[in-house]
Amino acid sequence: MNNLSKIFLFVLLCLSGLAYAQQQAVIEVEPGTVIENLQFKGELLDHPVDYAVYLPPGYEESERYYPVVYLLHGFTDEEWAWIQFGEAHLAADRAIASRKIPPMIIVMPDGGVTWYVNDYAGEEPWADMFIQEFIPHIENEYRIRKQKEFRAISGLSMGGWGALHFAMNHPDLFIASAPFSAGVRTDEEMINIDPDRYQRVYGGLFASNPQGEERLNQHYNEFNPIHLARSLPEDRLQSVRWYIDCGDDDFLYQGNSELHVILRNRGIPHEYRVRDGAHNWTYWRTGIADALEFIGESFHR
């Protein structure tokens, strides 16, 4: 065998070994633990809140404390949707195994159809419950680092709206926000929604059957990411890392695009992603890994 043949064989063996090692790495992904059917009962709501939690590999055996992501579901879904349809736990397992993200806890509460806000009548103060009661409960129940730099929020559609307004209204609590297909509508869109559809989607949250510009009332704007992006001080918005992702065929593209333009014009750093896709689980399932990686970068110094 001549020298050239030996070199070729050596390179071939090295590449084969690398491919085998990569296959083994994929096979040996250690799964985290998903716990469903959990409940929290606080003082602000007259009913318990269901939730699910993902604990990273090694949680049970270790004594360390972990960063946390609050992952919010969409309209009419429940707390298990990100597990059942979004496979968020599998994405986290793979990303942790490949060291693309640090081990983290993911908490998924059931927000019903509340849009994660306080209703105008004061009967369902979901947003207050989440900030004042739920987060403290979770972060005492599990080994979680309680500083802002280790807490992030994400979600899809209605949950994307929630991920935005929580981080905008409470930038002291969240280091990063990563909304998918956020349920953000331009003012014109909100004014012109068919009354029956408005009642089905928002009924009882912001006013009693408002019409036209009445829908852009003070209570609505307290939670409206478009208004908050326009009006909040720049330093508050700049203290959060933003990752906004909306498909090119998504019916919510106008609101997400306007949000991007507002932030860009105000000089607020953010990542804006427009991928091929629509308002569906295929889109969100294929995007959650990148969002978790963005969040994971936020947990590092």
Indicate the pairing of strand 176-180 with strand 241-245: parallel
| The total number of structural domains that make up the chain | 2
Residue 76: pLDDT band with limits 50, 70, 90: very high
Distance (Å, rounded) from C-alpha 207 to C-alpha 194? 16
At 5, is the pLDDT very low, low, confident or very high (cuts 50, 70, 90)?
low
Verify that 84 and 203 share a domain, yes or no.
Answer: yes
Quote the CA–CA distance of 183 and 180 in Å, as a whole number. 9
Q: Examine the domain organization and report whether 141 and 127 are in the same domain.
A: yes
Mean pLDDT calculated for residue range 139-167: 98
One domain, residues 41 and 69: yes
Q: How confident is the model at residue 28 (pLDDT cuts 50, 70, 90)?
A: confident
- Give the model's pLDDT for residue 234: 98
Percent of the chain with pLDDT over 70: 91
**Whether residue 125 sits in one domain with residue 19:** no
Do 20 and 123 share a structural domain?
no
Distance of CA 252 to the CA centre of its chain: 17
d(CA 15, CA 159): 44
- Mean pLDDT value of segment 59-70: 97
- Considering the chain, what is the average pLDDT of its residues? 93
Q: Which residue has the tokens 């590999």?
A: 57
Please tell me whether residues 25 and 124 are part of one structural domain.
no
Residue 34 near residue 52, CB atoms below 8 Å: yes
On whether both 17 and 43 belong to a single domain, the answer is: no
Q: Is the pLDDT of residue 6 over 70?
A: no
User: What is the pLDDT confidence band of residue 287, given thresholds at 50, 70 and 90?
Assistant: very high
151 and 207 part of one domain = yes
Do 124 and 270 share a domain, yes or no? yes
Is the pLDDT at 196 greater than 70? The verdict is yes
Q: How far apart are CA 133 and CA 148, in angstroms?
A: 16
Q: What tens digit of pLDDT does each residue of 229-266 get?
A: 999 999 999 999 999 999 999 999 999 999 999 999 99
Domain that holds residue 104: 31-298
pTM across the whole model: 0.91
Same structural domain for residues 11 and 120?
no
> Does the pLDDT of residue 27 top 50, yes or no?
no
| 50 shares its domain with 24 | no
Q: Do 258 and 226 contact (CB within 8 A), yes or no?
A: yes
CATH, residue 66: 3.40.50.1820
**Region at 223 (left for phi over 0; alpha for psi -120 to 50; beta for the rest):** alpha
Output b/e per residue, 59-83; b: 16+ Cβ within 10 A. Answer: beeeeeebbbbbbbbbbebbbbbbb
C-alpha dihedral, 59 to 60 to 61 to 66, nearest 10° = 30
Check: CB of residue 295 under 8 Å from CB of residue 95: no
The pLDDT confidence band at residue 283, using thresholds 50, 70 and 90, is very high
Distance separating alpha carbons of residues 87 and 292, to the nearest angstrom: 13
pLDDT average, residue stretch 101-130: 97
The Cα 290–Cα 170 span in angstroms is: 24
**5 and 128 part of one domain:** no
Tokens 């969040």 sit at which residue? 295
